[in-house]
Amino acid sequence: MSMLGNFVWLLAEATAEASEEGGFGLNTNILETNLVNLAIVVGILVYFGRGLLTKTLGDRRSEIETAIKEAEERRQQAASRLAEEQQKLAQAQQEATRIRAAAEERAATARAAILEQSERDIERLRESVFQDVDAERARAIAELQQRVTALALQKAEADLPHHLNDDTQRNIIDRSIAMLGGAS
């Protein structure tokens, strides 16, 4: 039993004995009580209850202070972690910005290189086409020249016997000899 429980039990026993013997006792009837009994009870409660009440309030106060200190520590830790995470976030954002800028720069460089290579390829294809066209033109011209020459020879051979008589043949031979003789 607690100290207060013991006090109440003793008070009840004293009241019961006093009422049986007619001696000194505590009157628990509220209407019949006097100021002395009330002062004694309050004095006993203050004397014995003060320590208990002080201890209980002190324990409660220390529990509250401990809870407040722990809450403050947790708040400080949370604020510290928040600051760290915000710093990490800022670093991650800077890294993302740097990576994005580098990627854009590489993309621009790659685009420029691809365009330059495409222009070189187109120029090379043009030159190749021009060379092929020139070669085909030269081949066609040479073929046409051969055909024209062959046709001219055929026509000349066909017409030569009709136009070449003995007098014409002598004139040609004499001119040829004169050119040869004049060349010597």
**Six-digit token string for 168:** 């014409």
Give the mean pLDDT per block of 10 residues along the chain (184 residues).
66 63 57 66 79 84 94 95 94 95 93 92 91 90 90 82 76 86 60
In this predicted structure, what is the pLDDT of residue 26? 59
Q: What is the pLDDT, as a whole number, of residue 77?
A: 95
pLDDT at residue number 155: 83
Q: What is the pLDDT of residue 91?
A: 95
- pLDDT value for 9: 72
Q: What is the pLDDT of residue 172?
A: 82
CA–CA dist 80, 101 (Å, integer) = 31
pTM: 0.39
Cα–Cα distance between 30 and 22 in angstroms, integer? 18
